[in-house]
A and B are shown apart, each in its own frame.
Chain A
């Protein structure tokens, strides 16, 4: 941040979370949506198991990528973490406090530190408000300073996300998709949050604009020390931004691993299939890669399959997979967990990207920009 940064009242004391400390811990998190039926008396007839027993932790300063197909529960999980949904059961610790049962009033204080960026920059900005009002709303709600201070902060934010001061009085419809997403980003970081949950932030954007927004999010993380949960269905994008990646299938995390290791050595057959389905912009490689085409669709989360939820589509499935649910256990290096009865061999597998040496990856410390 620049030297002349506006000091706001919200730059408060309180338990600072140092980089590397656990910022968020989800423990056996569940979110079921009831399906009700009946005319006068609404009885619950079934439940959508949107998020079913998810546990993970997130350290300050890191980016956790969340991937999976539509309906796997990744957006629901994001909204549970932001507490936009009530949580059915399980605990959710943010900065050491369990916020899973917090009331709206209690949540207001938490939301300073926990902000969200949405997929659709057309739907997530109020078309009747000017950009200045949209970005200053969080500052005013949290009484973050005088009118003048807030205005200066908004100008500073506009500059930070690559828009200019003259944009402050315009309406969202005057902007392109990429610019609108920048407005959404400015709003999310206005209060200097600790955790930003980005739900498919670039999926609605064109390829060339997508790269601009990803680079912006990257820069902001370095400058502001943000922690991200980054949801996307584009595995290339997720790998680019993430330190660790969790793969979800039908409401459960089936594999979670350091990013590069997940791509080099997937352990769960679903991850393997997902990676194999990704198209590469290289005709020769595209022609030589063997592709595993997954049959069928994702089953209904109302009545998920028994045992391992992936077994009806899994080419390695046996009797045990239909009967017993596999636990998430460690494979490969520390922090690489997968839930599978027949995990792919970590040591011997020939991965799809064998041409790429793992060591070629730039160390994280070099990502800082000047």
Chain B
């Protein structure tokens, strides 16, 4: 396989707080190859956003400590100055966020905001930048783009604002587009519009996409490969098919089981994962998921490494053997088969 476009190597991010050290990201390694879509799935506090924010060097909190490398086209982004990283942001790697209202500047017209980004990275005339902005707004499906470019963000609906964000993000033909929960704030019908727009751009420009979401449905629709995060670590990583049809980690089973699915008969009960995620200040010794896991045994007191236990390149961090997993998995995921405990 060719060299990865973006290679995150043993990234660690922690924050000093009054109550102690919060290990938000604890040794994450993941690669993104040209043209592919990588899904990063996890719940709040799992470290998925902190991971990509660190890649973009957007965390400026003086209490943050970083360790590890992020290699993009042969250079380590973590070693760059903020001035150097500015030439990468937007042009090489760009990002769209969950809430387009807070990520667009409310006091500037949207057309101007796109022009500004183009002119920051390329030496073009105002008029040329303007024409590009209108072209981009048209491409992302904003009707009457030439007039709408003179509107302010609040004059757009949520879905339209997300389209503007996407237009801005792809304005300098980036190699990598990072989308952090791009559709979480949107209604289902608008979500469908935005996802099909991202698909179209991916196809037209060959952009590689990192898609961060908590929604297994979104990665089932979009991702080529998926990494599942829990308490600051990747606990399972594989192709889309592996993750959905041969999941290895009990947490992934829990995620799949707790969804109220429309494509299956209604179960009597959903299989909830008991308990709460651990505090990132005092991670339990051993497997971080151990306390909530129904399949815990003695070895879980040792921290499981993210290893290829199936021999297919599909990684997981669980001590159970492949056979043991096979035996308990179906019952763990399909709620109908779960016996009700008193």
Contact flags (1/0) for B246-280 with A, using CB distance below 8 Å? Answer: 00000000111111111111111111111010000
Which B residues are CB-close (under 8 A) to A285?
263
By the criterion CB–CB under 8 Å, are B260 and A361 in contact? no
Q: Is A360 an interface residue (CB 8 A)?
A: yes
**Contacting residues, chain B, for A362 (C-beta < 8 A):** 265-268, 336
Partner of B256, one of A214, A281, A295: A281
Residues facing B in A344-370 (CB within 8 A) are 353, 355-357, 360-362, 366-367, 369-370
Given contacts A233-B188, A234-B260, A273-B189, contact A357 B220 (CB under 8 A): no
Partner of A260, one of B193, B263, B264, B266: B266
Do A176 and B276 touch across chains, with their CB atoms under 8 A apart? Answer: yes
Q: Shortest CB–CB separation between residue B24 and chain A, in angstroms?
A: 16
Which residues of B lie under 8 Å from residue A369 when comparing CB positions? 269, 340
Whole-angstrom CA separation of A233 from B257 in the bound complex: 20
B276 and A279: CB pair below 8 A? no
Inter-subunit contact B188/A281 (CB<8 Å): no
Interface centre among A206, A273, A275, A285 (most CB of B within 10 A): A206
Chain B neighbourhood of A215, CB < 8 A: 269-270, 272
**B265 to chain A: closest residue by CB:** A360
What separation, in Å, do the CA atoms of A69 and B191 have in the docked complex?
11
- Given contacts A283-B241, A286-B221, A207 and B265 within 8 Å (CB-CB): no
Residues in A with CB closer than 8 Å to B196 are 291, 293
Q: Given contacts A297-B160, A369-B340, A370-B342, are A282 and B255 in contact (CB under 8 A)?
A: no
Give the CA-CA distance A233 to B340 in the complex, in Å.
29
Q: Is B78 an interface residue (CB 8 A)?
A: no
**Interface status of B36 (Cβ within 8 A of chain A):** no
Contact with A along B186-202 (1 / 0, CB 8 A): 01111111001000000
Answer whether residue B214 sits at the interface, using C-beta atoms and an 8 A cutoff: yes
Contact at A206–B218, with CB atoms within 8 Å?
no
Chain B binder among A55-63, A108-116, A143-151, A235-243: A235-243
Contact between A236 and B259, CB atoms less than 8 A apart = yes
Q: Is A211 an interface residue (CB 8 A)?
A: yes
Q: Is B44 an interface residue (CB 8 A)?
A: yes
Contact code string A209-230 (vs B, CB < 8 Å = 1, else 0): 1111011001000000000000
Q: Please measure, in the bound complex, the distance between the C-alpha atom of A6 and the C-alpha atom of B268, giving whole angstroms.
A: 30
Given contacts A283-B240, A286-B221, A362-B268, contact A207 B214 (CB under 8 A): yes
A184 within 8 A of B: no
Contact A207:B255 (CB < 8 A) given known A281-B216, A283-B241, A362-B268: yes
B10 at the interface (CB under 8 A from A): no
How far, in angstroms, from A215 to B274 measured CA to CA in the complex?
A: 11
Residue of A212, A263, A277, A366 touching B274 (CB-CB under 8 A): A212
A206-B214 in contact (CB<8A): yes
A362 (CB) vs chain B CBs: closest residue = B268
Contact B189 A237 (CB under 8 A): no
Instruction: Bits for A128-148, please: 1 = Cβ < 8 Å to B, else 0.
Output: 000000000000000000000
Cα distance, A138 to B160, chains bound together (Å)? 43
Alpha-carbon separation in the docked complex, A211 to B244 (Å):
19
Q: Which chain B residues lie closer than 8 Å to A295 at the CB level?
A: 193
Instruction: For chain A, residues 166 to 216, give those with C-beta under 8 angstroms from any C-beta of chain B.
Output: 176, 178-179, 206-212, 214-215
Which of A178, A235, A239, A277 is close to B266, meaning CB atoms less than 8 Å apart? A239
Tell whether, in the assembled complex, residue A211 and residue B190 are in contact, meaning their CB atoms are under 8 Å apart.
Answer: no
Question: A370: nearest residue on chain B (CB-CB)?
Answer: B342
How far apart are A167's CB and chain B's nearest CB, in angstroms?
Answer: 13
Given A176-B276, A214-B260; A70-B188 close (CB under 8 Å): no
Contacts of A70 in B (CB 8 A): 158, 187
The answer to whether A263 touches B268 (Cβ under 8 A) is no
Least CB separation from B157: chain A residue: A297
Interface residues as binary, B204-221 with A (CB distance below 8 Å gives 1, 0 otherwise)? 000000000011111011
Known: A214-B270, A297-B157. A236 touches B192 (CB 8 A): no
Contact B220 A237 (CB under 8 A): no
B135 is an interface residue with CB less than 8 A from chain A: no
Which residues of B are found within 8 Å of A283, using beta-carbon distances? 220-221, 240-241, 244
CB distance from A104 to the nearest CB of B (A): 35
**What A residues does B276 contact at CB under 8 A?**
176, 178-179, 209
Quick check: is B159 within 8 A (CB to CB) of the other chain?
Answer: yes
A297 to B155, CA, bound (A): 13
User: Are B265 and A278 touching (Cβ within 8 A)?
Assistant: no
- List chain A residues, Cβ under 8 A from B220: 279-283, 286
Across the interface, name the chain B residue whose C-beta is closest to A369: B340
Q: Which residues of A contact B268 (CB under 8 A)?
A: 362, 366-367
User: Smallest Cβ distance from B99 to chain A, in angstroms?
Assistant: 14
Q: State whether B265 touches A211 (Cβ < 8 A).
A: no
- Give me the interface of A with B, judged by CB distance under 8 Å: 69-70, 176, 178-179, 206-212, 214-215, 218, 233-237, 239-240, 260, 263, 273-283, 285-286, 291, 293-295, 297, 353, 355-357, 360-362, 366-367, 369-370
Residues of B within 8 A of A (CB): 43-44, 157-160, 187-193, 196, 214-218, 220-221, 240-241, 244, 254-274, 276, 336, 340, 342
The 28 listed contacts between A and B (C-beta, < 8 Å) are A206-B43, A207-B214, A207-B215, A208-B43, A208-B272, A211-B257, A211-B259, A214-B260, A218-B269, A233-B187, A236-B262, A260-B266, A274-B189, A279-B218, A279-B220, A281-B217, A281-B220, A281-B256, A282-B220, A283-B244, A293-B189, A294-B193, A297-B160, A362-B266, A362-B267, A369-B269, A370-B340, A370-B342
9 additional A-B pairs beyond A214-B270, A293-B196, beta carbons within 8 Å, are A211-B272, A212-B274, A275-B262, A279-B220, A283-B244, A291-B192, A291-B196, A367-B268, A369-B340
Kindly list the 7 A-B residue pairs having the minimum CB-CB distance in the complex, ordered from nearest: A279-B217, A211-B272, A211-B258, A360-B265, A236-B260, A208-B273, A240-B260
